[in-house]
Structure 1
């Protein structure tokens, strides 16, 4: 399919084919936002963080954290959670188990996300027993 046929969308397989030399790691991004202010969010924060750590230990959580306001000066309760899952439906099931979502403190949406490019660096200094992730 040519991009000119439908300039707003192309099949995922066409994108995969065009980037076949890339990583093509399929992950799922869970965008989460408060439903009724920050009070309910803070009421669930401890259980939410325990849940996130459990996902991390189980090898499901790829990355997660708060999303700042555009000026990078404050937090309005939004977050991003990226998970390893077999499908979008499986990622939704993971999000539904989060205490934030179970309690109704936050709502969420899930988008499939394919990683093609990027890098991660881990520096481990034995002498000082320190590390840095960039």
Structure 2
């Protein structure tokens, strides 16, 4: 199995995007304060992370059936290293207070597409 940096270099050599981001899966904890109590501070932290350019995407995940919202969320960070991404996750009030725990992984984006439409007169933005 190749090491991460070897795989990333190989992906670049073959012409893939090889954009490294960091995925945080954040799960409610049974031991911490209730998630709704920490939500305002969490959202303010995410706002600051987005303004700083460190938060690419964030939002809730469904359960495995796709029908229920069980409080698990996913965040996608832009960072220079796994350690920097870990510091960002540790700084989130959800994790600092123990309301949630998290797992952190590197994510290498190689393929895909993103469409953005900005309506000037309608002042609308559509992301697909």
Structure-2-length-normalised TM-score: 0.89
Give the number of the structure whose alpha-carbon radius of gyration is greater: 1
The alignment's C-alpha RMSD in Å is 1.8
- Distance (Å, rounded) in 2 between the aligned partners of 1:93 and 1:22: 28
For structure 1, which runs of at least 5 residues remain unmatched after alignment? 1-8
Q: Which residue of 2 aligns with 1:6?
A: none
Q: Which residue of 2 aligns with 1:103?
A: 97
- Distance (Å, rounded) in 2 between the aligned partners of 1:80 and 1:29: 7
For structure 2, which runs of at least 5 residues remain unmatched after alignment? none
- Distance (Å, rounded) in 1 between the aligned partners of 2:124 and 2:31: 39
Kindly report structure 1 stretches of 4+ aligned residues shifted beyond 6 Å: none
Count, aligned residues: 126
- Distance (Å, rounded) in 1 between the aligned partners of 2:58 and 2:32: 18
Residue 123 of structure 1 and its aligned partner are, at CA, apart by 1.1
The correspondence for 2:16, drawn from 16, 19, 22, is 22
